[in-house]
Amino acid sequence: MQILILNIKQLVQVEKKPAKWVAGDQMSKLDSISNAFLLVQDGVIKDFGTMDKAPELSSLSGDVLIYNAYDRMVFPSFCDSHTHLVYAGSREIEYTDKIRGLSYEEIAKRGGGILNSAKLLAKTSEDELYEQTLQRANEIIHKGTGAVEIKSGYGLSLESELKMLRVARRIKETTPLTVKTTFLGAHAVPEKYKGKQSEYVDLIINEMIPMVAAEELADYIDVFCDKGFFTVEDTERMLMAGIKYGMRPKIHANELDYSGGIQVGVKYNALSVDHLEYTGDSEIKALLNSETMPTVLPGAAFFLGMVDPPVRKMIQFGLPVAMASDYNPGSSPSGDMKFIMSLGCIKLRMLPEEVINATTINGAYAMGISDTHGSICKGKVANVFITKPIPSIEYIPYSYTADLVETVILNGKIVSK
């Protein structure tokens, strides 16, 4: 199957050679081609360029679907490198508690928050959990996401953590999304381990990690290394155990305080450290010259009314930055990456070019797929979306609630609604 898209107003985020990420000044550079064509063949990007170089139909063998884009643009699909897509139910009660003035930590202390989701998840069957997750997967596909990282972390027992990761694996097998999975047993200390945190850490190390690895359920390991959650020492113990089983770290770090999470992530060569609201000079210094992608989640800071991470400073210092949705029931009940781009522009003062790089190529790096995803590059997986007619690239984050994704192509095939 081939798709030939012609007369594209702008083909956005094109690369001659795949870059691992874009950093610093480069983040405001975005290569795109006006009046372009894109040829997709056998699931990958075969060719692209200006319309005068478009292939003659007679030169293409086999079935070719022709798509005339005219006033529409083509973007690489979003790579959402941090989500908690598998969860049961919702937590709008806490949303109203928050409006009444309770903090995220106060809600967590009262047994709300993550523990609330864990209670509900334990009672939900694997099939039911899959159905709920599938709805969210379909929702994000039609909002332009092509690759997604999915974490466990609402199980907090061996059985329920495995259940979550099996659901994530079913999403990988049954949807056109590219899925990477992360074991986050250390998302919160479950009720029955209150006051015995290190015993829960032992359970994670001795039972959960080996079982998750035995079923090959997780690519990565995550720890919520923050004030009121897991300490740097706990984190180190769990990361070492995960690494032994081939799971590279991706850390929830510095959302609530200067927790040391960024430094410990870098020390263990994390693929990414995520949240980063509390990032100062020493955290930036730790990240420079590392292989760790700083990832910000502006949906969570927006939804919880928290401080914003110092992204301008991070970029000025030459760091790359990725942005992800953090789709979860407690701090960011949305997987809308276009809205995340708008938040990046409005709240973090990022340029449209920067938020596009942050949600595509840098997001791809943060989930370990920048060789194959995150840009329009020959040989990369054909994951793109075609917009509705729009006047400019900047219009995408500017029109901050409009649904502008018209057609989705994943693995070289049009995904119908």
Which residue ranges make up the site for ligand NIG (CB under 6 A)? 113-114, 117, 224, 252, 255, 300, 326, 328-331
Closest to ligand NIG by CB, 325 or 383:
325
Task: Show the DSSP H helices in 113-215 as ranges.
Answer: 113-123, 126-142, 158-174, 197-203, 209-214
Q: Tell me which of ligand NIG, Fe ion, none is bound by residue 331, counting a contact when its beta carbon lies within the kind-specific cut-off of 5 to 8 angstroms.
A: ligand NIG
- Closest to Fe ion by CB, 326 vs 354, is 326
Q: Give the range of 59-67, 173-181, 259-267, 319-327 binding Fe ion by CB under 5 A.
A: 319-327
Query: In this structure, what are the phi and psi dihedrals at residue 294, rounded to the nearest 5 degrees?
Result: -70, 125
Find the helix or strand (DSSP H, E) in which 274 lies.
strand 272-275
Give the separation between CA 402 and CA 417, rounded to whole angstroms: 18
Task: Output Rg (C-alpha) for the chain, integer angstroms.
Answer: 21
SS3 38: strand
- Of the pair 143, 252, the CB lying nearest ligand NIG is at 252
| Two structure tokens written together for 303 | 């939804």
With CB under 5 to 8 Å by kind, the binding choice for 78 among ligand NIG, Fe ion, none is none
> Which residue is nearest to Fe ion, using beta carbons?
326
CB of 272 to ligand NIG, least distance (A): 12
Please give the residues from 347 up to 366 whose contact with Fe ion meets the rule CB under 5 A.
Answer: none
Backbone angles phi, psi at 406, to 5 degrees: -95, -45
State whether residue 305 is helix, strand or coil.
coil
Rounded to a whole number of angstroms, the minimum distance from the CB of residue 342 to Fe ion is: 20
Stretch that binds Fe ion, among 90-98, 109-117, 322-330, 388-396 (CB under 5 A): 322-330
Which of the listed partners (Fe ion, ligand NIG, none) does 161 bind, with a CB threshold of 5 to 8 Å by partner kind?
A: none
Question: Residue 222, interface with Fe ion (CB under 5 A)?
Answer: no
Relative orientation angle of helices 126-142 and 158-174, to the nearest 10 degrees: 40
Min CB(358)–ligand NIG separation in Å: 17
Which residue, 330 or 397, has its beta carbon nearer to ligand NIG? Answer: 330
Of the pair 74, 358, the CB lying nearest Fe ion is at: 358
State both tokens at 215. Answer: 């079923």
SS3 label, residue 131 = helix
When the beta carbons of 161 and 326 are compared against Fe ion, the nearer one is 326
Any contact of residue 326 with Fe ion (CB under 5 A)? yes
Name the binder of 255 from Fe ion, ligand NIG, none, CB < 5-8 A by kind. ligand NIG
Three-state SS across 75-128? Answer: EECEEEEEECCCCCCCCHHHHHHHHCCCCHHHHHHCCCHHHHHHHHHHHCCHHH
Query: Which residue number is nearest to ligand NIG in terms of Cβ?
Result: 330
* Residue 352 binding partner per list Fe ion, ligand NIG, none, with a CB distance cut-off of 5 to 8 Å that depends on partner kind: none
User: And the tokens for 225?
Assistant: 């290394």
CA distances from 277 to 106, 226, 258 (A): 19, 11, 9
Q: In angstroms, give the least distance from the CB of 255 to ligand NIG.
A: 5
Please report whether residue 255 would count as binding Fe ion according to CB under 5 A: no
State which residue, 129 or 150, has the beta carbon closest to Fe ion: 150
Separation between Cα atoms, residue 377 and residue 385, nearest integer Å: 14
Is 306 strand, coil or helix? Answer: coil
Query: Which of Fe ion, ligand NIG, none binds 224 (CB below 5-8 Å, type-dependent)?
Result: ligand NIG
Whole-number minimum distance, CB 363 to ligand NIG, in Å?
15
Which option in ligand NIG, Fe ion, none does residue 329 bind, with CB closer than 5 to 8 A by kind?
A: ligand NIG
Q: How many residues bind Fe ion (CB under 5 A)?
A: 1
The stretch near Fe ion (CB under 5 A) out of 171-179, 225-233, 320-328, 339-347 is 320-328
Strand pairing class (322-323; 272-275): unpaired
Spatial distance between the Cα atoms of 383 and 417, rounded to a whole number of angstroms = 16
Cα three-residue angle 182-352-258, rounded to 5 degrees: 50
Query: Where does this chain bind Fe ion (CB under 5 A)?
Result: 326
